[in-house]
Amino acid sequence: KHSIRIKFLSSFIIDISLAPTHTILAFKRALDELDQEGGVHGRAKRYEANNKLIREKMKTLG
């Protein structure tokens, strides 16, 4: 199973030159934004804060 994943990943990397330009640019932008937020840990902290805020506001609505 693991070797299948590696083969798929390597074939994706080879074929990425065929991907539409807008897809590649969007992926790069997403990675840049993730990096600006402090990586996965930073984004998780933001999601936790958003979750807490939404729950607090929903409680006030009943």
33 CA to centre of own chain: 9
What confidence tens digit (pLDDT) does each residue in 19-47 have? 788 888 898 999 999 999 999 999 999 99
Residues across the chain: 62
pLDDT higher than 50, residue 53: yes
Full residue range of the structural domain in which residue 23 is found: 2-61
Model confidence, pTM: 0.59
Total domains, the chain: 1
**Percent of the chain scored above 90 by pLDDT?**
53
Higher pLDDT, 11 or 61: 61
37-44, Cβ contacts within 8 angstroms, sequence gap of 24 or more: none
Q: For residue 46, what pLDDT is reported?
A: 96
